[in-house]
Structure 1
Amino acid sequence: MTQKLNRTNYDAPAAPIRLVHLGLGAFHRAHQVWYTQKADPNWGYASFTGRSGRVSDQLEPQDGLYTLVTRSGDGDSPEVITSLVEAQPSYNLERFRELLGDENVSVVTLTVTEAGYHLAEDGSLLHDDDVKFDISELQKDTPEKLETAAGRIIYGLKARMAAGYGGLAVMSCDNVADNGPLTRNSVIGLAKEIDSELASWIESNVTFPSTSIDRITPATTDELIEDVKRETGFEDASPVVTEPFASWVIEGEFPAGRPEWEKAGVVFVDDIEQFERRKLWLLNGSHSLMAYYAQLKGHATVDEAINDPDVRARVEALWDEAANHLTADGLDIPGYRDDLIERFENPRIRHNLAQIAIDGGTKQRMRAVPIMKSELADGRPGNGAALSIAAWIEYILRADEIQDTRADDLEAARKSDDPVKALIAALDEELAANEDAVERIRGFHDEVKAL
């Protein structure tokens, strides 16, 4: 006989809420909440969905409890996670405001994807429709709705300033380079449009730590829900599956305190830049290469792709290029590469290449493009990165519908007279102005379009 998973049936008193999160999804629950529970279960999370309220609807009847299934070649290890105390929909602005106005709340974390920061390439605030809407709404004492993460944070920080409490840390856990400065630009850029006094208070009191995060977290399936019910005896509407590997590197200060995450294996560093690049270029870079090149070859998952000798050779070539520019102490590039191969080969983590392929117009800007440009600057051709860009181009050209936040721009580029060059320019204008680089990518494109 099974039971509903909740705090009545499962003995897990709710911890005090001291952390707030925007972007409630599987990765957040497999990473930040899991690390927090390992470090100190007395720090509770209140987490808000991005736009849809689906996950909060599933977790609210469970009092925030869910099962995290760590899946390795040796089997499954299910664990009930208790540190998520509240699962809230994005539209509950007043609860968000109340929490940030609480002296006990010390850290806000975010997983809203790069598009969620609404910034132009130069780091300035985009005045798109969502930003314009929030500027208008934040002029009111009580906004009816806010569209951006920065808008919600500003609404909450205004309450904190009014209450006379000190600042806190706002920390992006999104998979983008320089995510601390990115978050700072988004929040302060929008605050300056609303209230100069509030913007000054944020600049003086709020910190924006940078992070490098890593843990593969595939989508939840009906099969996983049934596995959890059978293995644990609890009915869980929203379990999460993940791999054994996890990594979290942080640079920055926490003015209101934080959990002792280092007890759970989090690494604190003075300079995070090359740790970010290691993850973006090696893990994410190879993911993108496989997402396009291996799909063109007919593969569906990461483990299928990495076991194709041709795909593996392409991945290794990309890694060789990236490693030329990853030289900081403590990176252990050979060990990191070995770990990646082991993770990719895990047959029980079904990481779909089609899922990874979404939003390549943004992802490849941070993955293949900087590797190729770094190689070109050192007088090398950057063939591994060029192949990855070429495979993305062919993937876009074949797509019935482009699944990308930049779909309009990419649609226009692929309809141009020279779609290869136009799509390179959509990634990086400087790279597109380098005729030798364009011709090199074009040559690889001729190769991959024959697949």
Structure 2
Amino acid sequence: MNDAAARALTRKDFGAPEPSAPARIVHFGLGNFHRAHQAWFSARASDGGDWGICAFTGRGSGIAHALEPQGGLYTLIERSASGDRCEVMTNLVEVHEGSDTGAIINVFSRLEVVVVTTTVTEAGYRMDLDGTPHVDDVELARDVATLHEALLHDHLEGIELSTVAGRILLGLAARRRANAGPITLVPCDNLPNNAGVLRRGLTQLAQRISAELALWLEENVTFVSTSVDRITPRTTENDIAMVARETGWLDAAPVVTEPFASWVLSGHFAGGRPRWEDAGALFVDEIEPYERRKLWLLNGAHSILAYLGLEAGHATVAEAVADVQCRRSVVSFWSSAQRHLPDDLELEVYCRQLFERFENSRIEYQLEQIASDSVMKLRTRIAPVIVAEFRAGRDCPAGVEVVAAWVRRILARGSFPDAQILAISSLLDNAPAAVVELIRLVDAQLVDLGTFVEQVQRLVTDHPDSARTLHT
């Protein structure tokens, strides 16, 4: 179809009910991944028609502005190596900017809302890996003070909050006030024990805000751990044009994703949930092995391909994985990681599937996108394998290589976009000590691992660009 003949995608023109399902799930972090993953699983549940989603943006408002005129509808493009499959998704029934605290109060006060999912990136929670909240973070501290004052005067309306943790706690305070019953939080970001992190972080923040809120949270909120997987790159203008051409709809916010999708969950849902297992979700008693497999093998490989691939001049995962040296480093890291994973996870099959997914050149997953928030990603994806190997009396060559590549990039060109940008920048003021301190920022344990620092320093100083930086 000619692009000029395409019509604007709206609920009325598409023929979708208004709304198609009651909002029973709240989501924070409305972006491409949520729409390709949690929303997709909910739509494919046998009872998906009963579970609409009310979604809030994270750091920006652009996606809300694009989706509001479309009534939350968007096109999901499943992009395989052989072609595209387009499907209009209808279960996103409410879309709001994250800053809309009135909408947060409203939706959390509804009895039928019983599940909250989040995809805000690892850094977006503003918590350490043990769940300790960053109380010295200016925005988080301001939100805590604002909520404390609001609850003190029993007046939640009209306040301004800028952090996801603050907005979730506002919702929980509103739910407590409305006596709307128990609710379950389901974090879906790449953090080990993500439910435990969020539980401890929110509990500690609630204790600073109101003892009553903290007690209510303990008694009425459950947390479910997850491991999520679906490669979802940024949408391009070409993707938007393709949707108009192939479907006849002008969609301002389509999502491109791969055919593969995985969701592993563990925990108790206080008020019910969709039958996600009908769409292939796996419910387990012990999620840690699945978390480690995904974080170390998929996400770890992505970080290796990002830092080594960018240094070699590549732009996408498919380009980097076709580079013999990059691929060799991934295989080496996988060999190290597999020594610390259970044998019953079919690791060889899993890794073979990963290479097939990475090689799909029609999924243009940008290495620069993967390389952002590098400190937290190296801390969760790479450092645990390095620590495990050195403590077992072995080196971890690929771990050394990727950390050195990251340090070289920082020294030569400055940081990738990173929540730790101020900490990184401050360490560069003392060039001779920068390598050790950058490693310490990723994980302090790495500094005490035998010859690890020495090996990284050797790879850094032997590289022309970073060597010049260290001696200026």
- What range is the shorter-chain TM-score in? over 0.9
CA distance 1:450–1:156, change in 2 (3 Å): closer
CA distance in 2, matches of 1:120, 1:216: 25
For 1:19, the equivalent position in structure 2 comes to: 25
Where does structure 1 differ by over 6 angstroms across 4 or more consecutive aligned residues?
Answer: none
Relative to structure 1, is the Cα distance of residues 121 and 347 closer, same or farther in structure 2, using a 3 angstrom cutoff?
Answer: closer
Aligned residue among 89, 93, 99 for 1:85? 93
Structure 1: distance between partners of 2:187 and 2:462: 39
1:361 partner letter: V
Cα drift, residue 433 of structure 1:
2.7
Contact 1:213 1:248 in 2 (8 A): yes
Q: Give the match's secondary structure for 2:185.
A: strand
Provide the rounded CA distance (Å) in 2 between the counterparts of 1:323 and 1:214.
19
Q: Which residue in the other structure is 1:64 paired with?
A: 72
SS of structure 1 residue aligned to 2:94: strand
Equivalent residue for 1:237, pick from 248, 252, 264: 252
Equivalent pair of 2:408/2:465 in contact (CA under 8 Å): no
Say whether the 8 Å CA contact 1:387–1:445 is kept in structure 2.
no
Pairing partner for 1:316 from 331, 335, 348: 331
Give the Å deviation of 1:448.
5.6
Q: Is the 8 A contact 1:106 1:169 kept in 2?
A: yes
Instruction: Flag the 1:315–1:178 CA change in 2: closer, same or farther, 3 A.
Output: same
CA distance in structure 2 between the aligned counterparts of 1:284 and 1:449, rounded to whole angstroms: 29
Structure 1 distance, partners of 2:462, 2:89, is: 48
Contact 1:420 1:442 survives alignment (8 Å):
yes
Question: What is the CA deviation profile of residues 406-434 of structure 1, one whole-angstrom value per residue up to 9, with x for unaligned ones?
Answer: 11111222332222212111111221133
Structure 1 equivalent of residue 40 of structure 2 = 34
Q: Distance in 1 between matches of 2:445 and 2:83?
A: 48
User: 1:424 is matched by which residue type in structure 2?
Assistant: I
Distance in 2 (CA, whole Å) between partners of 1:444 and 1:383 is: 11
> What is the TM-score when the length of structure 2 is the normalising length?
0.92
Equivalent residues of 1:21, 1:47 under 8 A apart: yes
Aligned residue number for residue 111 of structure 1: 119
Cα drift, residue 334 of structure 1: 0.6
- Kindly indicate whether residue 285 of structure 2 is the aligned counterpart of residue 270 of structure 1: yes
Paired residue secondary structure (1:177): coil
Deviations 1:31-60 (A, max 9, x none): 010110011232100100013211111000
Report the AA paired with residue 28 of structure 1: H
Q: How does 1:173-212 map to 2 (within 5 A)?
A: 173-212=188-227
Give 2:10's aligned residue. 6
Q: Which amino acid aligns with 2:459?
A: F
Aligned to 1:136: 145
Distance 1:443 1:257 in 2: 55
What is aligned with 1:346?
A: 360
Q: Provide, for residues 323-379 of structure 1, a one-character-per-residue CA deviation record: whole Å limited to 9, x for no partner.
A: 0001163x2111110110000000100011111111111110111111100001111
- Cα distance between partner residues in 1 of 2:84 and 2:128: 43
* Change in 2 beyond 3 A, CA 1:121/1:180: closer
SS in 2 for 1:277: helix
Q: Distance in 2 between matches of 1:182 and 1:159?
A: 22
Q: CA deviation at 1:400?
A: 4.2
Cα deviation, residue 151, structure 1: 1.4
Amino acid at match of 1:131: L
> Could you say which residue in structure 2 is the equivalent of 1:357?
371
Task: Indicate the residue corresponding to 1:250 in structure 2.
Answer: 265
Corresponding letter in the other structure for 1:359: D
Cα root mean square deviation, aligned: 1.5
Q: 1:65 to 1:22 in 2, by over 3 A?
A: same
Contact 2:230 2:257 in 1 (8 A): yes
Q: Corresponding residue for 1:335?
A: 349
Which of 378, 401, 404 is equivalent to 2:392?
A: 378
Distance (Å, rounded) in 2 between the aligned partners of 1:311 and 1:342:
15
Please give the alpha-carbon distance, in whole angstroms, between the structure 1 residues aligned to 2:288 and 2:73. Answer: 35
Give the residue type in structure 1 aligned to 2:393: G
Query: What displacement does 1:300 show?
Result: 1.0
**2-structure distance, mates of 1:120, 1:342:** 34
Q: CA deviation at 1:385?
A: 1.1
- Is the alpha carbon distance of 1:186 and 1:216 closer, same or farther for their aligned partners in structure 2, counting shifts above 3 Å? same
Amino acid at match of 1:166: G
CA–CA distance in structure 1, aligned partners of residues 266 and 52 of structure 2: 22
Is 1:45–1:84's contact at 8 Å kept on the other side of the alignment? yes
Q: Superposition pairs for residues 208-227 of structure 1, below 5 Å?
A: 208-227=223-242
Shift of 1:248: 0.6
Shift of 1:402: 4.1
> Secondary structure of 1:21's partner?
strand
State the identity as a percent: 44
1:293/1:448 contact within 8 Å kept? no
Match of 1:125 among 133, 138, 147: 133
The worse-fitting range, judged by mean Cα deviation, of 405-414 and 167-176 is 405-414
Find the partner of 1:390 among 376, 383, 404: 404
Query: Residue in 2 aligned with 1:305?
Result: 320
Say which is worse superposed, 134-143 or 38-47, in terms of deviation. 134-143
Q: Distance in 2 between the 1:333 and 1:414 partners?
A: 39
Q: Equivalent residue for 1:424? A: 439
Distance between the aligned counterparts of 1:421 and 1:227, measured in 2? 48
How many aligned positions are there? 450
Q: C-alpha displacement at 1:29, in angstroms?
A: 0.4
Structure 2 counterpart of 1:436, one-letter code: T
Question: Which of 99, 103, 106 is the aligned partner of 1:95?
Answer: 103
Instruction: Say yes or no: does 1:165 pair with 2:180.
Output: yes
Query: Is the contact made by 1:60 and 1:87 (CA closer than 8 Å) also made in structure 2?
Result: yes
Cα shift at 1:187:
1.6
- Larger mean CA deviation between 435-444 and 147-156 belongs to 435-444
Give unpaired runs (5+ residues) of structure 2. Answer: 467-472
Deviates more, 1:112-121 or 1:347-356: 112-121
In structure 2, the CA distance between the partners of 1:208 and 1:391, relative to structure 1 (3 Å rule), is: same
Match of residue 46 from structure 1: 54
CA distance in 2, matches of 1:178, 1:267: 16
